[in-house]
Amino acid sequence: MRWRGGAGWALALLPLAFLALAFFWPLADVLRLGLQVDGRWTGDRLSALLADPYVRRLLLFTLDQALLSAAVSLGLGFPLGWLLTRYRFPGKGLVRAFTLVPFVLPSITVALGFILFFGRAGYLNRFLMGAFGLGEPPIRVLYTLWGIVLAHAFYNAPVVARFVNVAWERLDPTLVEAARVLGTGPVRAFLTVTVPLLLPAVLSALALVFVLCFLSFTIPLALGGARYATAEVGVYLFARVYVDFPRAAALATLMLGISLALTYLYLRGEGLFQARAGGVRGQPTVPLLSCNRPIRSLWIGYLFLAALVFVGPIAAVVADSFLRAAPGAGSPTLYWYRLIFSPAWNPFLESSPAGSVGTSLVVAAGATALALALGVAVSWTLHRVRSRALEALLMAPLAVSSVVLGLALLFAFRRPPLAAFGRGPWAIVLAHALIVYPFVVRVIRPLWEGLDPNLVEAARTLGARRLAAFLTVELPLLRGGVLAAGAFAFALSLGEMTAVAMLAGAGVTTMPLAIYHFLSAREFGAASAMATVLIAVTAAAAWAWDRAGARWLGRDHGGR
């Protein structure tokens, strides 16, 4: 492609230069510390790491919980996708909207909800003990492998449901009808026709869920601690608790290699599955209430179980934020909300609760602004230059876990030139921007590809330079998409805790980290109030993202 003037090249190289300084150079620092001994590149640290029984246990537990989490997510998510595709029922739109939960709900609030709802003294056990006169809590999944698995399923079952729902709606219904005409029963038609056609989407969903659970950090940290730690938690423990940076870097190097391999395999598999997908066909739906009693009873039982797993923990967080005493035994109060908005210094946070709220908002606003600038620049570059290699470089942070990125920036902010910024909010802003800008690109780039190129050419013909055409033609047309991406980026940054846990210095606490500190100190009321505020703010940002995107699509594309 021909470029006019040097401005185009400068703008194309700008995001790559920024990533070289803020991402690739810090990442190289981790690799150097993990693979160098006395200035010599060697695999000795990796060999010693893999020979350590503790590290081997971390890796095996990480693999086990990821496999189990993917399986349970499939078990809970597949029926939800089936329900959304095949049936009509009151509240279907609300259930469908719930599948956005993994994208807007901070994971620390999920961990808190599971503690309050499924804990030994939680709402569910208290109810069962009171209803059946039991002397001991009947449900004991918390702080076990299954507690982590269920919390992961809470997050990832909706992902499976969306994959299944979208794929099922694309199937040709005449295939099942033909099987039924030939005498095949409904169960056999489902198993021999529908399931094989859905298999690519199911495998793609399982692969994505496995990757997400393998690289999970916050839920294993809050629900497993050191006893049920994953490899990502191990990197954090080595770096921030044991202050063993060489071992942290070696484990991070190993996890980086694994995450890159998993991401590559997932993307290759996703391309294969998408290639096999058909066009949108539309599936006939039937009223759920018109089904026969056995089928209706099965679905009601599933919805009851889903409500326990999905609604119970969040309801427990909100309810506990208004109680002063133990869960289920206190009287309504606003005490915890007055506490979290108090400017008084809190020893658990090493700052004030109100200060952590303000820090979160400032960090999220700064990260959103930086992510939008970087995301627009990357989208513009990829729109102008068709290069898979360049795209892989510009989207590389997507394949690196937040823990590894946090460790890399922890090292980078200890020496020039980033040391001048310290380890305060600036480091967290940069980390969050690197985490969320690939999602900004994924929102903006497809919209940019859909713009009419003749509009830019007309501006160029009238004498506008390329940059001026971008600012006066393309950017105004993309404003709705940019607003939607900004709201999404704000919600993601507000709920992100992993990089904060790695980077936060004394007195720098965001809302998710404050929830974790309150949780560690067993101050559940304060943690619940902070989590409720965080849920409300992220839900509002997600609503703004959805409304801005829908309004822009309806206004700018509906008339074409």
Rounded average pLDDT per 10-residue block, the chain, 560 residues: 48 84 93 89 91 94 96 94 87 74 80 93 92 90 90 91 87 82 84 87 89 92 87 94 93 92 75 49 71 85 88 92 67 87 84 88 93 90 80 88 92 81 80 93 83 72 70 75 84 89 83 92 92 85 60 43
pTM above 0.75, yes or no: yes
Among the listed residues 361, 386, 376, the one whose alpha carbon sits nearest the alpha carbon of residue 437: 376
Separation between Cα atoms, residue 414 and residue 427, nearest integer Å: 11
Separation between Cα atoms, residue 517 and residue 62, nearest integer Å: 24
pLDDT of 105: 81
| 3-class SS letters over 226-281 | CCCCCHHHHHHHHHHHCCCHHHHHHHHHHHHHHHHHHHHHHHHHHHHHHHHCCCCC
Q: Are 370 and 433 in contact (CB under 8 A)?
A: yes
Q: Which fold has domain 346-555?
A: MetI-like fold (1.10.3720)
- What is the pairing mode between strands 40-41 and 36-37? antiparallel
Tokens of 402: 């937040």
Among the listed residues 369, 370, 368, the one whose alpha carbon sits nearest the alpha carbon of residue 493: 368
Q: Are 379 and 448 in contact (CB under 8 A)?
A: yes
pLDDT of 214: 94
Among the listed residues 497, 494, 504, the one whose alpha carbon sits nearest the alpha carbon of residue 536: 494
Tokens of 26: 């810090």
The Cβ-side half-sphere exposure at 544, using a 13 Å CA radius, reads: 15
Residue 381 neighbours by CB distance under 10 Å: 21
Tokens of 127: 């109810």
Separation between Cα atoms, residue 327 and residue 73, nearest integer Å: 28
Torsion sign across C-alpha atoms 274, 279, 284, 287: positive
- What is the pairing mode between strands 40-41 and 87-88? unpaired
Q: Are 1 and 385 in contact (CB under 8 A)?
A: yes
Which amino acid does the sequence have at 100? L
pLDDT of 27: 94
Tokens of 530: 């902070």
Task: For the chain, give every domain's residue range.
Answer: 346-555
Chain center to CA of 388: 25
Which amino acid does the sequence have at 83? L
Separation between Cα atoms, residue 177 and residue 560, nearest integer Å: 36
Angle between helices 353-384 and 511-520 (to 10 degrees): 140
Q: Are 118 and 111 in contact (CB under 8 A)?
A: no
Separation between Cα atoms, residue 412 and residue 406, nearest integer Å: 10
Tokens of 456: 């830019």
Q: Are 500 and 410 in contact (CB under 8 A)?
A: no
Tokens of 19: 């990533």
Which amino acid does the sequence have at 300? I
Q: In 181-193, which positions are buried (b, 16+ CB within 10 angstroms) versus exposed (e)?
A: eeebeeeebeeeb
Residue appearing with tokens 């329900």: 83
Among the listed residues 305, 303, 110, 300, the one whose alpha carbon sits nearest the alpha carbon of residue 223: 110
Which amino acid does the sequence have at 182? L
Residue 492 neighbours by CB distance under 10 Å: 25
Residue 197 gets the label, from left (phi > 0), alpha (psi -120 to 50) or beta, of alpha
